[in-house]
Amino acid sequence: MDNQYADLNLELQELIAGMEQRRGKVEAGGGPERQQKQRDGGKLTARQRLDVLLDPGSFLEYGTFVEHGGNRLMQGVEAPGEGVVTGSGTIHGRQVFVFSQDFTVLGGSLGKMHAAKVAKIMDLAAKTGCPIIGLNDSAGARIQEGVDSLSGYGEIFYRNATYSGVVPQISAILGPCAGGAVYSPALTDFILMSRGSSYMFITGPEVIKSVTREEVSFDALGGADVHTRRSGVAHLEADGDEAVLGKIRDLLAFLPQNAREKPPIRPTSDPSDRATSDLLTLVTPDQRRPYDMHRVIGTIVDDGEFFEIQPDWAKNILCGFAHLGGRVVGIVGNNPKYMAGTLNIDASDKAARFIRTCDCYNIPLLTLVDVTGFLPGVAQEHAGIIRHGAKMLYAYAEASVPKITLITRKSYGGAYLAMNSRDMGADVVYAWPTAAVAVMGAEGAANIVYRRDIQKSDNPEATRTEKIREYKETFDNPYVAAAKGYIDDVIPMEDTRRRLISTFQMLQDKEETRPFRKHGNEPL
């Protein structure tokens, strides 16, 4: 015992020693052997993770001495801390609430009291208006506790849903997350996974083999690559626990504490009126010459820094956060470098979710448009592109944050609307001189509208070329839309940063009210 107590009376010394002994036992988790196994697997322990995530010395633990509820199967079973460490701390000096599951204690499995500890800090986070961060490393429902552990999941899922859009919720997946352990993260705003040491699946390889005879490894079934590239379940991945926890710290810098606040301002030395002349060579009038929208964003935003969300999934659309004049913006942009920037099912899902996340947390939206339309194809139609594309329309129409749309080149057809046109609620629409707004591209349009003229012509190819040129002259520019007020101004490309910063500043106190309803019925 600490000798600072040496002068106290003996009884008090014993009480303090008892407290320290109990605390030591809880802090030891599943014991040195299991903790070593955790480290051998390249993972940090539950408490080490909190040390990396939070500002030094800021962690305050609650529920330290909670024990399992006990039933016949749990008799004699020890579960220090109930397999989860819970409390509050700060990140960049701002308060957050955290839970960190301890895989060394019964595989981090979730029993009734484990869930009660998590629910307690979720409630505190909602009451005090602070983000909730879950560090997940769990084998799912604690088998010995039966229906009680299912009920425990229910308590958490209920809170995930109830506090959705109230305070930001972030989930790190840092080990095997099986069964119920994946659905709480799936109900949160962001999921980050550690590459090589984390998995997410509803049923594991063993069960799959017995039911469907498919043989698959943990990694191939639900590793970070699968969920950040194929399924779209996770938003970010990184190598190892420390890198994932670092990304959570970075992500929080873009988010407010709760839905009543705005995100923090980050002062910058990047001048607001810096000319963005690089855009003049990056985006040429030749519609067939693709460019990378990342480079457009990098040229415009503060210090060229773009924090991309889901960078490896549905690459035909970009979503992410940046600062403009110190203020956070959420950016959605077609990327002509992939699939000519067309919108497909995954891109629609990705963008719709991101738009709604920004709207929840008062993050203004910048939409960069270069899109020929929705991706044509039987597979897309049969898989429900109508239902998925509608999510984007709904999300933009619903979002009441400041919204600026910038048309960089093509904006055609349904995708013109899905990329937040004036009528879908954009507060200000800008276009570059390279922009073209039309129902479809000139080639397709001329072939349909002038089919008879082309067929009747002595020289169909010459007529076709002439009609395409005619159509282009009429519609393939921003001025028809600008003349009708659908575009507020056609701006010099080199003036883009200054215009966007000034316009977001003009919109910063925007308020938009909607008719009463319980909640909308967005397409899912």
Q: How many residues bind ligand HXC (CB under 6 A)?
A: 18
The Cα-based distances of 278 to 54, 281, 371, 497 in angstroms read 39, 6, 21, 12
Q: Does 500 bind ligand HXC (CB under 6 A)?
A: no
Stretch that binds ligand HXC, among 136-144, 286-294, 346-354, 441-449 (CB under 6 A): 136-144
Q: In whole angstroms, what is the distance from residue 480 CA to residue 488 CA?
A: 12
The enclosing H or E element of 237 equals strand 236-238
Output the smallest distance, CB 291 to ligand HXC, in A.
Answer: 45
Two tokens at 377? 């194809």
Q: Does 159 bind ligand HXC (CB under 6 A)?
A: no
Q: Does 139 bind ligand HXC (CB under 6 A)?
A: yes
Which of 29, 89, 134, 180 binds ligand HXC (CB under 6 A)? It is 180
Catalytic-residue membership of 415: yes
Output the smallest distance, CB 135 to ligand HXC, in A.
Answer: 16
Q: In whole angstroms, what is the distance from residue 248 CA to residue 193 CA?
A: 11
Catalytic residue among 129, 246, 326, 414: 414
Give 173's strand partners.
136, 193
Q: Does 109 bind ligand HXC (CB under 6 A)?
A: yes
CB 236 within 8 A of CB 194: no
Catalytic residue among 180, 204, 333, 341: 180
Q: Does 106 bind ligand HXC (CB under 6 A)?
A: yes
Catalytic residue among 415, 418, 426, 436: 415
Which of 87, 185, 204, 364 binds ligand HXC (CB under 6 A)? It is 204
Which of 83, 89, 107, 325 binds ligand HXC (CB under 6 A)? It is 107
Output the smallest distance, CB 168 to ligand HXC, in A.
Answer: 23
Stretch that binds ligand HXC, among 133-141, 345-353, 390-398, 429-437 (CB under 6 A): 133-141
> Which residue do the tokens 């479809």 mark?
440
Greatest Cα pair distance, the chain, in angstroms, is 112
CB 307 within 8 A of CB 321: yes
CB 417 within 8 A of CB 423: yes
Stretch that binds ligand HXC, among 172-180, 285-293, 374-382, 431-439 (CB under 6 A): 172-180
Q: Does 28 bind ligand HXC (CB under 6 A)?
A: no
Helix residue spans in 401-441 (DSSP H): 413-418
Q: Which is nearer to ligand HXC, 62 or 157 (CB)?
A: 157
Q: In whole angstroms, what is the distance from residue 204 CA to residue 222 CA?
A: 9
Q: Which is nearer to ligand HXC, 52 or 202 (CB)?
A: 202
Dump strand ranges (E) for 258-402. Answer: 307-309, 317-324, 327-334, 365-371
Two tokens at 318? 């970009």
Output the smallest distance, CB 39 to ligand HXC, in A.
Answer: 13
Q: In whole angstroms, what is the distance from residue 133 CA to residue 89 CA?
A: 11
CA angle 125, 128, 132 (to 5 degrees): 20
Q: Does 200 bind ligand HXC (CB under 6 A)?
A: no
Q: Which is nearer to ligand HXC, 152 or 441 (CB)?
A: 152
Catalytic-residue membership of 414: yes
In this structure, the number of other CB atoms found within 10 A of the CB of residue 463 comes to 17
Q: Does 142 bind ligand HXC (CB under 6 A)?
A: yes
Q: Does 29 bind ligand HXC (CB under 6 A)?
A: no
What are φ and ψ of residue 441, in 5° steps? -65, 160
Which of 46, 178, 234, 404 binds ligand HXC (CB under 6 A)? It is 178
> CA nearest 166: which of 262, 257, 86?
257
Catalytic residues: 179-180, 414-415
Binding stretches for ligand HXC (CB under 6 A):
34, 106-107, 109, 139-144, 150, 153, 176, 178-180, 183, 204
